[in-house]
Amino acid sequence: MEIKEFTKKLFASAKEAGIEQYELYYMQEGSLRVSAYNGEIEKFSQSQTGGFGFRGIINGKTGNFYSESLSEDIIPLAIKGVITNCEVTGTEEKQELFPGSEVYPKVETYFPELNKISAEDKARFALLAEKTAKEFSPEIESVNTSLCDSGEAENYLANSLGLELESKSNYIVALVELTARKGEEVKEKGDIYIGHCFDEEKAKALAISAAKKAVSALGGTGVQSGKKRVIFKNEAFCDILATFADNFSGESARKGFSLLTGKIGEKIASEKITLWDRPLLKDGYASSAFDSEGVACYDKSVIEKGVLKTFLHNLKSAAYFKTKSTGNGFKPSYKGAVGVSATNFFIEKGETDFDGLLEKMQNGIIVTEVEGLHAGANVVSGDFSLAAEGFMVENGKITHPVEQITIAGNFYELLKTIAQVGNDLYFNSSAVGSPSLMFEDISVSGL
């Protein structure tokens, strides 16, 4: 059954059954993936997942029901499920439905031309990326993964207060992972693209980027321990920012899990830093016009020139702090609870290109990759100690790769001590972005 027709019948039954307020959240996702290996198509896979969550409020208690089916037969089960859930296990924590924002922005999230890409087109893309990577250098031993995937998602939200919203989005994902060898030394690297661009040049660029990472990392050495100037390459700092992103969540602040609680309006970072959450970003692959609660999304600076301006809020955390939701109340799936999630979350780029950062640093280390973020980072205190690798810089020039080093510090202190901000803004697969950043004194453990 079509989702709007199903919702109309479900809501009529809910009203008749005496459910005071009710809401339906529907999500459908599909993908078509093609992967290549050794010059041939290795795998072709297609998936379709989704369903709806139905929420009802009776006598101040809230009940939920979830199903993948949109058949008329499921409606009585949904009504009974919510009523029983309210009576037996329903939460008494105050929950209210959202009637809707006054205005909803227009943001392009669906690109019809991507639907014209066939499985054969994806196969050619994956094969070309694999071939390009193999031909980059004789030190490329194997291309372990070369795939192209297209995805599409549909969301629909309606409630008994008259709210009705729908959105559609699609995207391309491409991934290349490979192995480089020099004697007995082996390096495994990769690169990923998520966005709305699909052509041969993108396939070649992705493959060359992955191959460069692997080949350039061969022959790494250790370094002497001590305080050093460090440039975190954009990709590496994206991973660090993503690890500590929950510190900017109103939910984390409400629960006491963020040391930024109570610091709105205070300077918490270098004035060189502006941190954005931009759901309306053009071509952003986490862009959205509204969140899972029906609140209109809008662009906002979380940190502006070093000053903490806001937390990211859903309705619950906003009510706790006596403010308005920032439109960041998202569900991970139709079954999931509403949490707080960033959209396109990034540090604003500066004006200095990467060569300019090297010139300003003169001597130090470039960190291109960090490992152990789950075990080596305390997301509440901000402390981290991470295995890393990268390159040595001497007299403003990259001289050789370095490995088996450990970078230690504190995320909150890092924000305060940024010396230079690059112009090479990069987004990772979590829609977290950063340019390359230079720091004066970072603890580096090596030899």
What DSSP line would sit under 12-39, residue for residue?
HHHHHTT-SEEEEEEEEEEEEEEEEETT
Mean pLDDT calculated for residue range 377-397: 96
Mean pLDDT calculated for residue range 322-333: 96
Distance separating alpha carbons of residues 214 and 233, to the nearest angstrom? 16
Mean pLDDT calculated for residue range 403-426: 96
What's the confidence (pLDDT) of residue 91? 60
Q: Which residues, including other chains, have CB under 8 Å from residue 98's CB and lie 6 or more apart?
A: 159, 161, 163, 293, 294, 295, 315
DSSP labels for 125-189? Answer: HHHHHHHHHHHH-TTEEEEEEEEEEEEEEEEEEEETTS-EEEEEEEEEEEEEEEEEEETTEEEEE
pLDDT band at 374, cuts 50/70/90? confident
What's the confidence (pLDDT) of residue 128? 97
* Residue 348, amino acid: E
Question: What b/e string do you get for 104-139 counting C-beta neighbours within 10 Å, with b at 16 or more?
Answer: bbebebbbeebeebeeeebbbbbbbbbbbbbebbeb
What's the confidence (pLDDT) of residue 84? 94
Q: How far is CA 278 from the centre of its chain?
A: 12
What's the confidence (pLDDT) of residue 254? 94
Q: Which among 218, 189, 193, 215 has a CA at the least distance from the CA of 204?
A: 193
Q: Please name the residue that has the structure tokens 């959450």.
A: 277
What's the confidence (pLDDT) of residue 87? 87
Mean pLDDT calculated for residue range 311-337: 96
Cβ atoms < 10 Å from Cβ of 297: 24
Q: Is the pLDDT of residue 93 over 80?
A: no
Strand partners, 307: 267, 304
Could you give the domains of the chain?
112-153+165-217 (3.30.2290.10), 226-242+350-445 (no CATH)
What's the confidence (pLDDT) of residue 95? 77
Cβ atoms < 10 Å from Cβ of 352: 19
State whether residue 42 is helix, strand or coil: strand
Pairing mode, strands 364-371 and 226-232: parallel
Interhelix angle 119-136/200-217, rounded to 10 degrees, is 30
* Chain mean pLDDT for the chain: 95
Distance separating alpha carbons of residues 439 and 442, to the nearest angstrom? 7
What's the confidence (pLDDT) of residue 55? 95
Q: Which among 101, 82, 91 has a CA at the least distance from the CA of 20?
A: 82
What pTM was computed for the model? 0.94
Mean pLDDT calculated for residue range 204-225: 96
Name the DSSP letter for residue 116. Answer: G
Distance separating alpha carbons of residues 438 and 447, to the nearest angstrom? 23
Q: Is the pLDDT of residue 447 over 70?
A: no
In 254-324, the DSSP E strands lie at 275-277, 300-304, 307-308
Q: Which among 173, 154, 151 has a CA at the least distance from the CA of 3?
A: 154
Mean pLDDT calculated for residue range 325-346: 96
Mean pLDDT calculated for residue range 235-244: 97
What's the confidence (pLDDT) of residue 1? 85
Distance separating alpha carbons of residues 404 and 446, to the nearest angstrom? 7
pLDDT tens digits, 356-371? 999 999 999 999 999 9
pLDDT tens digits, 159-191? 999 999 999 999 999 999 999 999 999 999 999
pLDDT band at 421, cuts 50/70/90? very high
Tell me the chain's radius of gyration from C-alpha atoms: 24
Q: Which among 417, 415, 392, 418 has a CA at the least distance from the CA of 403?
A: 392
In the chain, the percentage of residues whose pLDDT exceeds 70 is 99
Query: What sign has the CA pseudo-torsion 329, 334, 337, 342?
Result: negative
* Residue 108, amino acid: E
Q: Is the pLDDT of residue 92 over 90?
A: no
Q: Are 420 and 211 in contact (CB under 8 A)?
A: no
In 183-316, the DSSP E strands lie at 185-195, 226-232, 275-277, 300-304, 307-308
Distance separating alpha carbons of residues 272 and 426, to the nearest angstrom? 17
Q: Is the pLDDT of residue 302 over 90?
A: yes
What's the confidence (pLDDT) of residue 90? 58
pLDDT tens digits, 422-431? 999 999 999 9
Mean pLDDT calculated for residue range 191-205: 94
Q: Are 145 and 35 in contact (CB under 8 A)?
A: yes
Distance separating alpha carbons of residues 302 and 344, to the nearest angstrom? 12
pLDDT tens digits, 9-61? 999 999 999 999 999 999 999 999 999 999 999 999 999 999 999 999 998 89
Using CA atoms in the order 376, 380, 381, 382, what is the torsion angle rounded to 10 degrees? 60
Distance separating alpha carbons of residues 79 and 256, to the nearest angstrom? 37
